[in-house]
Amino acid sequence: MDFSRALDTDHSETLLRMPSWVTSARAERIEDAAFMSGAALNHLHLLMARDDVPVTLIRARLALRAAEACVRFSGRPERAGALRDAVHFLRPGDLPGPAGEVYLSWLRAVARAVSVRSLNRALPNVEAGRIADYLDAGQGAPVCRAAAVLEAVMRAATQQEGPALILADAALSQALGLGHVTPLLAAGLQRADLRKGVDELRRACHRAVVASVVETVRLAADLTRRAAHVKAVAPKLRARGAGEAVEMFLTRDAVAAAELPLPPRAARRLCDRLVDLGAVRELTGRDTFRLYGV
């Protein structure tokens, strides 16, 4: 047995695990909620700084969760599968529909480093000057800043849950020095939370951050293992363009065979090969119009 590898594995799993006192504690006072969210965010920051953690893939998966939450807030029925279909099977000139637009906004928000310009690309209906003003609305600690931005956007446009949450997560990510938008708030908040007063909204954001970080840490542990397996089997792939295809799987939530930089038949064979090797999963359960992901 390779004891050094076993020790490395144990050490890695320990670092990827959220401390139990964060996950089990009940914070009744806002001071306690703030302490717990700070501890959770510190753990997340350390985790996302690790070289073996596929942070781009994690952000992409979190973007899907955030989009699903925003679509649910708007009362629409689309869930993850429908959102993936709306984006990955778009043809030139097609419109993704309202739910697909929400998902595209989140994908664009997480794709580039946080800036007014990148956020304007994600939210073309919000003027760049307004985006800058909203981001400046938040002061103080990261979660307080995010809550202030969320409250400011919702006060200005009550039916804009998606843009409000994107900008709030952008403010949170900026304050944490994460570089890119890392979606945390949308999946942890309820629609009713978005219309609360400043103090209650702040409390809700603290709780949402803790809940979302717990789920993100679990997701990171799973995707880190899966990504390591993808990298391990990559040398077995002989198709020209396989390296670029593997990189797509390691950075995207889902990939259609037609999106890979290979001829159609070779792309399908590569996807089947990766499924056989246990490196990726087929996500739709369909015989046609399939999507694959780590």
The predicted-structure confidence for 275-285, as pLDDT tens digits, reads as follows 999 999 999 99
Beta bridge partners of 255: 292
Evaluate whether residue 199 is within a structural domain. yes
Whether residue 104 is found in the same domain as residue 186? yes
Residue 34 lies in a domain: yes
User: Angle at the Cα of 84 (from 254 to 290), degrees rounded to 5?
Assistant: 65
pLDDT for res 96: 95
**Are 171 and 119 contained in the same domain?**
yes
For the segment 246-278, what is each residue's pLDDT rounded down to a tens digit? 999 999 999 999 999 999 999 999 999 999 999
Pick the closest to residue 130 from 153, 107, 98, 110 (CA basis): 153
172, 142 contact by CB (below 8 A): yes
Q: Could you tell me the CA-to-CA distances from 26 to 29, 74, 75, 207, 212 in Å, in that order?
A: 9, 30, 30, 10, 15
Contact 256, 291 (CB under 8 A): yes
The domain in which residue 249 lies consists of 237-293
Residue 92: partners with Cβ closer than 8 Å, 6 or more residues away: none
Could you tell me if 77 and 180 lie in one domain? yes
Mean pLDDT (whole number) for 197-207? 94
Judge whether 98 lies within some domain.
yes
Q: Residue 134: left if φ>0, alpha if ψ -120 to 50, beta else—which one?
A: alpha
Q: What is the pLDDT of residues 68-87, one digit of tens each?
A: 999 999 999 999 999 999 99
Please indicate, yes or no, if residue 171 is contained in any of the structural domains. Answer: yes
**What is d(CA 10, CA 107) in angstroms, rounded to the nearest whole number?**
33
113 in a structural domain: yes
Final residue before a domain boundary, out of 173, 189, 222? 222
Write out pLDDT tens, residues 51-61. 999 999 999 99
167 φ/ψ angles, rounded to the nearest 5 degrees = -70, -35
* pLDDT at site 11: 46
Last residue of a domain, one of 222, 245, 268: 222
Q: Rounded to whole angstroms, how far apart are CA atoms 35 and 209?
A: 11
The percentage of the chain sitting over the pLDDT mark of 70, rounded to a whole number, equals 94
**Residue 172 placed within a domain:** yes
257 domain residue, yes or no: yes
Residues 152 and 252 in one domain: no
Same domain assignment for residues 242 and 178: no
Q: Average of pLDDT values for 152-176?
A: 93
* Average pLDDT rounded to a whole number, residues 215-235: 96
Looking at the structure, do residues 133 and 210 belong to the same domain, yes or no?
Answer: yes
pLDDT digit string, tens, across residues 114-145: 999 999 999 999 999 999 999 998 788 999 99
Final residue in a domain of this structure, among 192, 222, 252: 222
Count of domains forming the chain: 2
Q: Are 165 and 102 in contact (CB under 8 A)?
A: no
Q: Are residues 155 and 247 in the same domain?
A: no
Task: Evaluate if residue 15 carries a pLDDT over 60.
Answer: no
129 and 241 both lie in a single domain? no
Among 58, 72, 74, 99, which Cα is nearest to 181's? 58
235-238 long-range Cβ contacts below 8 angstroms, 24+ apart: 236/277, 237/270, 237/273, 237/274
CATH number, domain of 279, equals 1.10.10
Contact 116, 132 (CB under 8 A): yes
The verdict on residue 16 lying in a domain is: no
* Phi and psi at residue 91, to the nearest 5°: -105, 160
Question: Does one domain contain both 269 and 148?
Answer: no
Q: Does one domain contain both 40 and 108?
A: yes
- Asked if residue 163 and residue 273 are part of one domain, the reply reads no
Q: Are residues 96 and 205 in the same domain?
A: yes
Per-residue confidence (pLDDT) for residue 26, from 0 to 100: 72
Q: Where are the alpha helices (DSSP H) in 112-197?
A: 116-122, 128-136, 142-156, 161-176, 185-188
Phi, psi of 123 (to 5 degrees): -125, 70
